[in-house]
Amino acid sequence: MTPDGISDDDWHRVHHAACDIVNASAAGDEAMSEHHHERLFEIIGELEALYGRLPSLLGTRADFMDDDSAAIPLLQEALVACEDPLSEQLTLESLIARMINQHYPDVIIQNHLNRLETLITSDGDDSDQEKLAELKTAFQRMS
Phi-psi region of 120 (alpha: psi -120 to 50; beta: other; left: phi over 0): alpha
- Note whether residue 3 is domain-resident: no
The enclosing domain of 110 has a CATH number of 1.25.40.10
- Note whether residue 24 is domain-resident: yes
- Note whether residue 104 is domain-resident: yes
Q: How many domains are contained in the chain? A: 1
pLDDT reported for residue 123: 62
- Note whether residue 58 is domain-resident: yes
Candidates 126, 2, 121; CA nearest to 59 is: 2
pLDDT values of the chain reduced to their tens digit, one per residue, 143 residues:
999 999 999 999 999 999 999 999 999 999 999 999 999 999 999 999 999 999 999 999 999 999 999 999 999 999 999 999 999 999 999 999 999 999 999 999 999 999 999 999 866 688 999 999 999 999 999 98
pLDDT reported for residue 143: 83
Domain containing 94: what range?
Answer: 8-142
- Note whether residue 1 is domain-resident: no
CA 108 vs CA 62, 96, 142: distances in Å = 19, 9, 13
